[in-house]
Amino acid sequence: MRQSELFTRGRREAPADEVAKNAKLLVRAGFVHKEMAGVYSFLPLGWLVLKKLEELVRSEMLALGAQEILMSALQPKDNWQATGRWEKMTDLYKLHDRSERELVLGPTHEEIVTPLVKNYLDSYQDLPLAVFQFQTKFRMEPRAKSGLLRGREFLMKDLYSFHRDEADLQRFYDLVSTAYKKILMQLGLAEKTYFTLAGGGTFAEFSHEFQILTPAGEDSIRFCDRCRLAVNEEIFDRQNNCPGCGTEKLPIATAIEIANIFKLGANFSRAFNLTYRDQAGVNQPVLMGCYGLGISRLLGALAEVLSDEKGLVWPEPAAPFLIHLLSVGPAAGSAGRAAERLYERLIKLGREIFWDDREISAGEKFAGADLLGLPYQVVISEKTLAAGKIELIKRATGEKSFLTEDELCVWPG
């Protein structure tokens, strides 16, 4: 895409109404637009990141054998009364229909997915079963000041699994855990992520969270660097050492919960009488698990954790474009014309390339490219042309290399 055609542009100043680094950078670089505290719209570059994250996560969910669906945001009060969460959950957005019937604006979907699956589940042969969706969720957060890290409206991937017994639930639980680790590794977040033992609420003794260390986080965890495990401070009275090696006096740090995995057991099955017929023909309760991963929160975490003083730094699988082509000098000059030729050539090769074809100073282009944070910058100037080479800069490290145009067209090989 030609940058001159993009309707958004980077701003020099951080927005005055944002506290969190992720929001400041994402607003400045034109990835998101704030509508209210905790409510953002996604601009073209931010939307491309969301799509990339969705595709990355989707492929892992499909590899688990899960089937994609899309559930409703509007949910009947009855379902929430059946589980007791109409009263218990304090962050529910409740609203009225015309008939004064009350509705919930879905913050999560156990109350919908359990009766939905009940329609299609009869016997043990129908199990295991897993469904997932990418969907906008709503939570009435008391304070929403962490930018994209904690929203009132946010995009989430939620996965629900259904099993015959505890062993099969555990098997799937471990598979999802591995899939989440793989996703976070591909995004360059593995180093800062701790697999964290957390409370199980009213459903189970424990659950697990994927917590990313960052001063911007709203959670506190006790972490063990030897085992890459942690314990959420909330349950440190129950588990006051590393669940792996038993080390006590673990250091404390703030972190952001990017994903969680949760054994629901038979709690929701009981509320909706979801059973299966076992091999002896006897009805048994279905055991369930749920597995959330925040997609817009992941975008925020990448901005918060991987950025540097110059701006955003996108990992390749999340970047809106792989390459930022920067031509120095006027469009009609030799560098401008060479850049246009290269751009057309790379587009024909199907490459994801963003070309800053605007008539602005080289300094502005470089600063703007650093703020946007695409993984690679390709510079074409009179100087590089004279040397017969193109400059390739890796945004994360500043590492430079020089390639011919032909070499760039087959790069990275």
Tokens representing residue 228 in the block? 């890459």
Q: CB of residue 282 vs a second copy: minimum separation in angstroms?
A: 22
Looking only at the bridges linking them, the beta strands covering 275-277 and 353-356 are unpaired
Q: Find the shortest distance in angstroms from Cβ 314 to a second copy.
A: 18
Q: Which of residues 301-330 bind a second copy (CB under 8 A)?
A: none
Site for a second copy in 11-50 (CB under 8 A): 30, 33, 35-36, 39-44, 47, 50
Rounded Cα–Cα distance for residues 362 and 341 (Å)? 19
* Alpha carbon distance 394, 299 (integer Å): 20
120 forms part of the interface with a second copy (CB under 8 A) = yes
Helix 21-28, helix 295-306: angle, nearest 10? 90
Q: How many C-beta neighbours within 10 Å does residue 110 have? A: 23
Site for a second copy in 67-86 (CB under 8 A): 67-76
- Least distance between a second copy and beta carbon 389 (Å): 34
Of these, 19, 55, 65, 364, which contacts a second copy (CB under 8 A)?
A: 65
Site residue total, a second copy (CB under 8 A): 51
242 binds a second copy (CB under 8 A): no
Burial bucket for residue 70 (CB in 10 Å: 0-12, 13-18, 19+): exposed
- Shortest distance, CB of residue 96 to a second copy, whole angstroms? 8
From CA 396, how far away is CA 387, in angstroms rounded?
25
Given candidates 54, 102, 126, 316, which one binds a second copy under the rule CB under 8 A?
126
Q: Which amino acid is at 164?
A: R
Site for a second copy in 98-117 (CB under 8 A): 98, 103, 105, 112, 116-117
C-beta of 59 vs 72, nearer to a second copy: 72
Residues 261 and 161: beta-carbon distance below 8 Å = no
Give the C-alpha separation, 301 to 293, whole Å. 12
Distance in angstroms (rounded) separating the CA atoms of residues 16 and 378: 33
Binding site for a second copy (CB under 8 A): 5-9, 30, 33, 35-36, 39-44, 47, 50, 65, 67-76, 93-95, 97-98, 103, 105, 112, 116-117, 119-121, 126, 129, 131, 136, 138, 140-142, 152-153
